[in-house]
Structure 1
C-alpha cells in the first residue's frame, strides 16, 4: 500500500503541466532535443521523438505520440492519442530487414529508408493514425481515427481506412481555394480577430466563405 501511494504521488507530480520555453509539457517524453517548436505547443505524457522534427505554431500533440525521422508539421494542427509518424523504414530489397546492433554491430542500419513526412496547417489527425513513408498531407485535411496513411492526402480532404482512402472533400473547390488564399494560419492575433466571423460560419451548401 505504501509503495502504491508513493507511485501515485510521483505520477501526480510528473503530470503537472510545466512551461518550458515555447512548450507546455506534462508527464515524461523523450527526444525533445530533436524537435524545433514554433511556440504555444502542447506535449502530453509519453511522446517520443527521434530524427529531425519541426512542429508549427500552436500545434498540439496527443498522449503517446511517436514521431521518427524527417518530419515537418504545420501550424494549428491537432494530433490525437497514439499517433505514429514513421518517416524511416526498414530496408525491404536487401537480404534482411534486421538493422539492430545484434547483427554486424548494426552496420545494416545504413540501409534503412529515409523519407520525409510533411503535414500542412490546420490538420486534424485522429486517434491511432499511422503515417508511413514519403507522405505529404495538405492543409485542412482530416485523417480519421485508425487510418494508415501511405500516400499523399489532398488539402481539405477526409481520409479513412487501412490503407487510408479518400472519403470526401470538406468543402467545395471554390471554398477550398478561398481558404488557401486567406492563409489564416500565418496571420497575427489582431488579424485573426478581424476575420473571426469566418470561423463561426457553417460552410455546408455554401459556395463562398464570404456569403
Structure 2
C-alpha cells in the first residue's frame, strides 16, 4: 500500500504489494520490488533498488546508487551514503542457486553507513554505530562504534549526533553538540544523560 502522502517520481517503478509510508519521497529511476516495506518520512535518492523482503523503518535516508537486497533490515533513522554496497550471500556463484541461503543484515536505530562502504551479509550493526566511507564491514559492529578501513576495524566512539566522543579518565564523554553524556564501561558505550528529556 502506498500512503497518499508519499511522493514518487514519475520515472520510479513501484511494483504491486509494496508498502510506502506517509511523507516518504522516492526519487528518479528507483525500483521498489513487490514485498518491500518502507516506513514514513524516508528518502530514497536516484537509482535506488529495494528488493522483496527488505524493511526500512521510519526516517531512513538512502542516497544515490544503492541496491538494498533481500535480507536487509534497517531500523529507524538509518543513513546510507551514496554507492554503499550490501550483500546477502557469502559465497555466490553464477551457476549455483543460493536463494535459500540469504543471510540477514541488520542496521539498528541511528546507524550511519558512509559513501562507498560495503556491508557483508550476516552482520548486525549496533545502534548509532558509524561506518566510515569506503570501509568493508565483515563482522558485527558495537553500538556507538566508529569503524573504518578494509576490513573495518574499531577506531573510536560516536555520539548519537555523529560527533567523536572523547572519554575522560572517569569513563565519561560529553557530546559537544547536545551535551548528552556517555559512559564507557566494560568495552561498551551507553548514553547516561539526555539533556533534551
**Uncovered stretches (5+) of structure 2, i.e. residues with no partner:** 1-8, 13-19, 159-164, 185-191
Query: Counterpart of 2:138?
Result: 150
**Secondary structure of the structure 1 residue equivalent to 2:34:** helix
CA distance in structure 2 between the partners assigned to 1:202 and 1:37 by the alignment: 32
- CA RMSD in angstroms comes to 3.2
Please tell me whether residue 201 in structure 1 is matched to residue 197 in structure 2.
no
In 2, Cα distance between equivalents of 1:113 and 1:205: 39
Q: How far off is 1:50 after superposition? A: 2.2
Q: Identify which of 89, 94, 97 aligns with 1:98.
A: 94
**Alignment partners' CA distance in 1, 2:32 and 2:85:** 15
- In 2, the alpha carbon distance for the partners of 1:46 and 1:210 equals 37
Equivalent residue number for residue 31 of structure 2: 30
Q: Residues 172 and 181 of structure 2 are in contact (CA less than 8 Å); yes or no, is this contact kept in structure 1? A: no
Flag the structure with higher helix content.
1
Give the direction of change, closer, same or farther, for the CA distance of 1:128–1:174 in structure 2 (3 Å limit). same
- Structure 1 residue 168 and structure 2 residue 152: aligned? no
List 4+ stretches of structure 1 deviating above 6 A. 173-176, 204-207
2:181–2:194 contact (8 Å) kept in structure 1: no
Structure 1 Cα separation of the partners of residues 182 and 90 of structure 2: 42
Q: Which ranges of structure 1 fall in alignment gaps of 5 or more residues? A: 1-11, 92-96, 100-107, 177-197
CA distance, structure 2, for counterparts of residue 133 and residue 110 of structure 1: 13
Which protein has the larger Cα radius of gyration, Structure 1 or Structure 2?
1
C-alpha displacement of 1:32: 4.0
Q: In structure 1, the residue corresponding to 2:97 is in which secondary structure? A: helix
Superposition deviation, residue 157 in structure 1 = 0.3
Structure 1's 154 and 28: CA in aligned 2 closer, same or farther, altered over 3 A? same
Provide the rounded CA distance (Å) in 1 between the counterparts of 2:61 and 2:178: 24
Distance (whole Å) between structure 2 residues aligned to residue 204 and residue 118 of structure 1 = 26
